[in-house]
Amino acid sequence: MWKTVAKGNLAQWKAEFCAEGLRNGFTLGIDESKMHGHRWFKNYKSALEASAAVAKAIRKRVEVGKTLDLGVSSPELEAAVRARYHDGTACFPMSAVDKSIVSYAGEKRLASDHTRTGVNKATDMSSLSYSLETYKLIAAFLKSGYFMAVSDVDAAYTNLPLAPSIWRFFLSRFAPASSSSTYTPNHLYIHLFADFGTAGAPGTFKLFFEDVIMSMARSEEVVSVPTPIYVDDITFIDEMCSRGRR
């Protein structure tokens, strides 16, 4: 990364932003001073009706260390968490939507409602807002006889480690397994990595992936073709070498 900065192919402030986030966690622009009290909510109907898929998605996060399972969400555990973070906590409600990609059929994308908890309102977007010009960039190439292939970054935002100081705003509750014959109590979870639903995640990911990672790849000539990026979808564009051949 610093080699790319030295070459003049990456702004130093972006490299410093990325280095700080990877070392100590990203804050996603959340202003902790604006978060007060304990804001805990129940999950939405869409998540409860897809309990098996939601439990599977949560389990995948837990297995790779991106979320911690704190145990059964008993009154005692919840009280202990509130006491530990006496300045305030947030337990966000979850919803679930189908993944649009065919290869992920049957799986659900979890959406965390950080607007409901007030986290998004407490987010400073001054350095994280950006506009998407991807369609225009793609159109300019395709009008000239180019072809393209599209790939996505798997679970994009979950690659962003969170600063420990904001973990307390990433609590959630859900049953780890679903059974029609037995009752499974909710467990209390806490995210260590970002999720889908925070206002600052797209801008943070854009700086991390598009501005830093992809700049490194281009600088080292790992990527040598135009690659317009739409959030977490990478478009590789190149010219036809000959008729019927790429």
pLDDT at res. 104: 55
What mean pLDDT do residues 18-29 have?
97
Secondary structure class of 219 (helix, strand, coil): helix
pTM score, two decimals?
A: 0.84
Predicted local distance difference test score (pLDDT) of residue 173: 97
Rounded Cα distance, 46 and 110, in Å? 10
The tokens of 196 are what?
């889908």
> Does residue 61 carry a pLDDT above 60?
yes
Task: Give the pLDDT band (50/70/90) at residue 245.
Answer: very low
Burial class (CB in 10 A: 0-12, 13-18, 19+), 135: exposed
Fold of 2-132+161-225: HIV Type 1 Reverse Transcriptase; Chain A, domain 1 (3.10.10)
Contact 36, 88 (CB under 8 A): yes
